[in-house]
């Protein structure tokens, strides 16, 4: 997959249209607003608990398939890709920060940060100048103290683990970061600081961010705001 500079400018990182999904025929339909996310921009999707925010991120990741509607990531219709192609797109171009961070407990802070580079040559090749150097730069920028870098992530506070998850999501300049309420464990001041850091570092890399949360006090940090309603 190669993109000219012009394509990068013109093709939205994410475009969804008329998306509807239900987990089973017995469940209510979840209907999603149309989203368009240009390269390097960010969007805050607000919705109450159970409205389908995490489900939407699973659809955009290609881990679940919508019964109706279109999802394009970097101009590619996920519905037209094989499972292997979706996996490759996710590994190469998506960073994720989930509620529980999904860090690997027996790996060090540095090894967790480097994981995307082990799983994707594209992520590894886009590090600047090397995976190790970029991991250190990101961990420093996100204020993870260097004395912790060789420790297992289980020895870190929740806020520190969250910043490691952000470093892991940012490494190798993915085109899109999906963040699922990653600030809920933090106090207000730390939440604001974390968001500013995440969005600044993403913007520097022209990485788009789709951030979902029920907490609309966070909305002011973002370029765009969209609201998700209750299930039908």
Q: Rounded to an integer, what distance in angstroms lies between the CA atom of residue 45 and that of residue 125?
A: 31
126 backbone dihedrals φ, ψ, rounded to 5° = -90, 0
Would you state the structure tokens that stand for residue 168, as one six-digit string? 């892991």
197 backbone dihedrals φ, ψ, rounded to 5° = -65, -50
- Sign, CA dihedral 89-159-163-161, equals negative
Burial class (CB in 10 A: 0-12, 13-18, 19+), 73: buried
Q: Which residues bind to ligand ATP, rule: CB under 6 A?
A: 23, 47, 49-55, 214
Smaller CB separation from ligand ATP, 68 or 200: 68
**Side-chain half-sphere of 31: how many Cα atoms within 13 Å?**
5
Contact by Cβ (8 Å): 115, 105: no
Cβ contacts of 192 within 8 Å, gap of 6 or more: 221
Q: Rounded to an integer, what distance in angstroms lies between the CA atom of residue 127 and that of residue 198?
A: 17
Q: Rounded to an integer, what distance in angstroms lies between the CA atom of residue 192 and that of residue 182?
A: 12
> CB of residue 228 vs ligand ATP: minimum separation in angstroms?
7
Would you state the structure tokens that stand for residue 221, as one six-digit string? 């940090």
Smaller CB separation from ligand ATP, 27 or 77: 27
Smaller CB separation from ligand ATP, 99 or 108: 99
């Amino acid at each position: 997959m190669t993109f000219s500079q012009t394509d990068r400018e013109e093709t939205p990182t994410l475009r969804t249209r008329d998306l509807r999904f239900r987990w089973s025929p017995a469940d209510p339909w979840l209907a999603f607003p149309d989203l368009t996310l240009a390269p390097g921009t960010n969007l805050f999707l607000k919705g109450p608990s159970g409205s389908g925010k995490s489900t939407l991120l699973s659809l955009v990741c290609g881990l679940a398939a919508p019964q109706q509607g279109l999802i394009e990531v970097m101009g590619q219709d996920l519905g037209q890709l094989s499972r292997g192609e979706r996996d490759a797109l996710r590994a190469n171009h998506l960073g994720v920060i989930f509620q529980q961070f999904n860090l690997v407990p027996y790996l060090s802070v540095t090894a967790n940060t480097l994981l995307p580079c082990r799983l994707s040559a594209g992520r590894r090749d886009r590090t600047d100048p090397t995976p190790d150097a970029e991991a250190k730069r990101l961990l420093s920028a996100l204020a993870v103290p260097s004395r912790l870098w060789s420790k297992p992530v289980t020895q870190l506070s929740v806020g520190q683990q969250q910043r490691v998850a952000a470093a892991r999501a940012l490494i190798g300049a993915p085109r899109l970061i999906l963040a699922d309420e990653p600030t809920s464990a933090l106090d207000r001041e730390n939440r604001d600081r974390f968001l500013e850091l995440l969005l600044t570092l993403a913007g520097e890399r022209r990485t788009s961010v789709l951030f979902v949360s029920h907490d609309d006090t966070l909305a002011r940090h973002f370029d765009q705001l969209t609201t998700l309603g209750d299930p039908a």
